[in-house]
Amino acid sequence: MSAAATKPAKRVVPTEAYDNEVCCPWCESDNTRLVSPYGPSVAEMMFKCLDCAQSFGWMKWEHRLPEA
């Protein structure tokens, strides 16, 4: 059996699953959208607040990720 056959499949979460899930650190609104699943580092996701128009990074390990 090849090594690829023994690896578990990666779970892919659609980016829409993060919309309205992460609160803005500037205005505390949850009216946010995921802009990029990767920020300055692989561990950070980039969001934009639709209320105050600020962009912000969110560390993936800060909170539990949304379920697929």
**Over the stretch 17-44, which tens digit does the pLDDT of each residue have?**
888 989 999 999 999 999 998 888 888 9
The pTM of the whole model exceeds 0.75: no
> Quick one: how far is CA 67 from the chain centroid?
11
Higher pLDDT, 27 or 6: 27
Cβ neighbors of 11 (< 8 A, separation 6 or more) are 68
3-state secondary structure of 49: strand
Q: Which of 30, 38, 27, 21 is nearest to 57 (CA)?
A: 38
